[in-house]
Amino acid sequence: MHALAINCGSSSIKGKLYYISSKESELEVVASLSVSNISSKGEKVKIKVRWEGEKGNDVNEEGEDGGSVDCQCR
């Protein structure tokens, strides 16, 4: 099962996607999301996604002005 936690502010959105394998286990971070410059006039909206992979195989993706970010799941 997955859970998504989102924190919305006036100029940014942050979130984390967690994987939950059972009731007793800890949450495992699958991805972190950051969207910034939402209310900055004249600035491009910046999107950053960090997919947590196997050791040393984390994937960082960035886009501007709502550019598409492709999921590269493990």
17 closest CA partner among 6, 1, 30, 28: 30
Domain ranges of the chain: 2-64
* pLDDT 10s digits, 8-50: 987 889 999 999 887 777 888 999 999 888 777 777 788 888 8
CA pair distance 42, 60, nearest whole angstrom: 25
Report pTM: 0.67
User: Is the alpha carbon torsion for 54, 6, 27, 23 positive or negative?
Assistant: negative
39-45: long-range contacts, CB 8 A cutoff, minimum separation 24: 39/10, 39/11, 40/11
The one-letter amino acid code at 31 reads A
